[in-house]
Amino acid sequence: MTNPYSVVTLYRREQLCAITSGTISTIPPITQIALGTGGVDINGTIVQPVEEQTSLNNPVAIYPIEGITFPLTPSTTARYIVSVGQELAGQEISEAGLIDANGNLCGVENFEPVIIPTTGGRRIFQIDDEW
């Protein structure tokens, strides 16, 4: 996550340190994306997430990952994909979090609000995990 409004959480950084040092042999994979409305302040300015976060500022839903792609060569970015439909109609989504198989927040990205339409179709969210 190289976006200035994204962060790898301290929890995930500790896991990455442990696995690369050999003190643990596995870490839980990313399995879900949480979406929320707390990525901007009252004036609509994007809020900088912090590595100590353990949840989104205002979570509204969690979705299982629908797809993963590796858009770069060499493969240093995993792109996680979910789609959202009428269940969030009218919501102004402005934050997303990568959640691991144990339910822990691993990364957060905040962005300008995306309004989920009240009729027709689904909205696709793609969150990159960049290294």
Please check the confidence at residue 1 and state whether its pLDDT lies above 60: no
22-30 average pLDDT score: 96
Tell me the pLDDT tens digit for each residue of 46-63: 999 999 999 999 999 999
pLDDT of res. 4: 86
Question: Position 91: which residue type?
Answer: Q
pLDDT of res. 120: 75
Whole-model pTM over 0.75? yes
How far does the chain reach from its first CA to its final CA, in angstroms? 7
E-assigned strands of 52-91?
59-64, 67-69, 77-84
Tell me the pLDDT tens digit for each residue of 111-127: 999 999 888 778 999 99
Who has greater pLDDT, 75 or 10? 10
